[in-house]
Amino acid sequence: MSYVNTLRTFVRVCDLGSMSAAGRDQRVSPAVVSARVAELEKHLGVRLFNRTTRSLQPTEQGRIFYKGALRILAAIEEAEAEVAEVSRKPRGSIHVAAPLGIGKRLIAPLIPEFNDLYPEIDVRLRLSDRKLDVTAEGLDVIFMLGDLEDSNLRLRPIADCRRVLCASPDYVTRHGMPMSGEDLVTGGHNCLLLRFPGAREFVWTLQTPTGPRRYEVQGSFESDDGDVLTAWALAGRGIALKPAFEIAEHLRSGALVVVAEAVPPLDVQLACLYPHKRLQDPKSRLFMDFMVPACKKALGEILEQIPAAAPT
Q: If pLDDT is split at 50, 70 and 90, which confidence band does 278 have?
A: very low
Residue at 129 is within a domain: yes
- For residue 308, being part of any structural domain is answered with no
Same-domain pairing of 152 and 294: yes
Domain, as residue range, for 45: 2-86
How much of the chain is in helix, strand and coil states, percent to nearest 5?
45, 25, 30
Query: Is residue 32 assigned to a domain?
Result: yes
Q: Is residue 309 one of the residues assigned to a domain?
A: no
Stated pTM of the model: 0.67
310: in domain: no
CATH number at residue 167: 3.40.190.290
Q: Which of 291, 265, 292 is nearest to 161 (CA)?
A: 265
3-state SS class at 17: coil
3-state secondary structure of 215: strand
- Within-domain flag for 101: yes
64 and 76: one domain?
A: yes
State whether 57 and 184 are in the same domain: no
**Same domain membership, residue 283 and residue 207:** no
Question: Beta 163-167 vs 257-259: how paired, if at all?
Answer: antiparallel
What total number of domains does the chain contain? 3
Q: What is the mean pLDDT of residues 46-51?
A: 90
**According to the model, what pLDDT value does residue 179 have?**
93
For residue 288, what are the contacts with CB-CB under 8 A and spacing of at least 6?
Answer: 141, 156, 272, 274
- Do 187 and 257 fall within a single domain? yes
Among 56, 86, 116, the domain-final residue is: 86
Query: Span 191-219, mean pLDDT?
Result: 83
198 pLDDT more than 60: no
Taking the C-alpha atoms of residue 111 and residue 93, their distance in angstroms, rounded to an integer, is 13
